[in-house]
Structure 1
Amino acid sequence: MGWLIGIVVLAAVAALVVWFVRRRSKPADGPFQPDDVVGTADLVSTDALRTLQNGDVIEYLGHKWFVRGRLDFNEDGYVWTEHLLDDAEEKRWVSVEDDEGFEVSLWHSIPLGDIDQGTAGDRDVIVAGTAYRLQERGTARFSALGSTGTAPSGQIDYADYRSNDGKLLGFEKFGSSWEASVGEMLQPFELTVFPGSDRTE
């Protein structure tokens, strides 16, 4: 009889151990999982960049720029937006694409004389010792809002390049001559948007 009681006790202990282990390993209830902090930050930043307006302020790595102008592009239904940023010292462009995935990049202009080899449309272009490979080129329609330095609307030719380590090179032609810029891809949460005081929404 004693051995039977012993078996029952052991079975009860084993069941208790299994229940405790399963309870400890069960994910916590609620909407957040370990990676959701970054995911939520991306979501909030993505929404802010989608609704970016002239007069807003963008901060990146402690540096702030005012949003002065906006260019909306359309190439056969494929759309993207570029925002002109400036402060007392420099101008930058933020490009926002929301097609198969959300992409944001930060650009600054360079003189054509800084190009070591190649020109817009070539398969390979070298700038400051970095080789860039052509990714795509085409022609799009654009419309402008605010201060952009372009016509209110028109046509643009472009050629986009990328280096092996992910650096970006872009050419744009709004009129008769090409303009060159270099850029970098960013995560949306790296940019902070401060809405302007004259926002209507």
Structure 2
Amino acid sequence: MSMTSMVVLGLSIALVLLLLGAFWATLRQDRKGRADAPPPQRAAVETAPVESPMPAPVSVPASVPGADYTDPRTIRVGDRIEVHGSPARVLGAMYISWQGQQWTELLLRDSTRRLQWLSVEMRPGDPPHLEVLLWTEVPTQGMVPAKSMLIMEGVEFHPIERGTAAFRSEGEAGLPDRGLLDFADYRASDGRLLSFDRIQGRPWSASYAQPLPPGSISIIRRAS
């Protein structure tokens, strides 16, 4: 073999060894980098917040010490009462709970067999006061409660409160033992109240409210 051939062969071998060494060093560095890198984290899964269930509705009647009139909170299903001197029988009741507020609605049937609801609620304030309302149903003609002003029988009513409450029923109210009640309350500029409500799964109904002053209700006979 000539001297020139030997030189070329030696340079070729050296170049091959140099390339192999560079490849080995790169491979080791790549493995080291992968080993040192933190493991990929699992993507966080967003879960919708679970709303806490509403507390069970509770009705705790109390008497008013020193009062010279009937406390509406003591009225019970089966009682016979008078409202503004008109006799009525308490057929059933709903005990309602919503955002810490609790109130009772009593289903009345008067001597003409007309049905009305009587709501009794201790309202917060300074001092707190007892609010008693007599509700008379009005035809809605397929209306549903709007989130803005609505007109009923030519009167403008503006929204004041709406939500979904839990209830427990008793007596002959024609309601499930427990359930949810959607409601939307409105007030006119002259102070008149209008309320839409529905047991979930049923159509909306609407009623006007008449506030009753203390002494408007008397109990004729207690349920046995």
Q: Is 2:80–2:223's contact at 8 Å kept on the other side of the alignment?
A: no
Tell me the equivalent position of 1:70. 93
Tell me the equivalent position of 1:126. 151
**Partner SS state of residue 189, structure 1:** coil
Q: Which runs of 5+ in 1 are unaligned?
A: 1-39
Structure ID, larger Rg: 2
2:138 corresponds, among 110, 121, 129, to 110
Identity, in percent, stands at 33
**Partner SS state of residue 215, structure 2:** helix
Tell me the equivalent position of 2:212. 186
1:146 to 2:193 alignment: no
After superposing on structure 2, the runs of 4+ consecutive aligned residues of structure 1 that deviate more than 3 Å are 42-45
One-letter identity of the residue aligned with 1:187: P
Residues in 2 aligned to 1:165 and 1:114: alpha-carbon distance in whole angstroms: 25
Q: Which runs of 5+ in 2 are unaligned?
A: 1-63
One-letter identity of the residue aligned with 1:113: Q
Residues in 1 aligned to 2:131 and 2:199: alpha-carbon distance in whole angstroms: 23
1:84 corresponds, among 100, 107, 114, to 107
**Partner SS state of residue 50, structure 1:** helix
Change (3 A) 1:165 1:191: farther
Query: Is the strand fraction higher in 1 or 2?
Result: 1
Aligned length: 154
Residues in 1 aligned to 2:169 and 2:140: alpha-carbon distance in whole angstroms: 24
Tell me the equivalent position of 2:44. none
Tell me the equivalent position of 1:14. none
TM-score by length of 1: 0.70
Tell me the equivalent position of 2:192. 167
Query: Is the helix fraction higher in 1 or 2?
Result: 1
Q: Is 1:114–1:128's contact at 8 Å kept on the other side of the alignment?
A: no
Aligned alpha-carbon RMSD (Å) = 2.1
Alpha-carbon shift at residue 180 of structure 1 (Å): 1.0
Alpha-carbon shift at residue 167 of structure 1 (Å): 1.4
Q: Is 1:167–1:185's contact at 8 Å kept on the other side of the alignment?
A: no
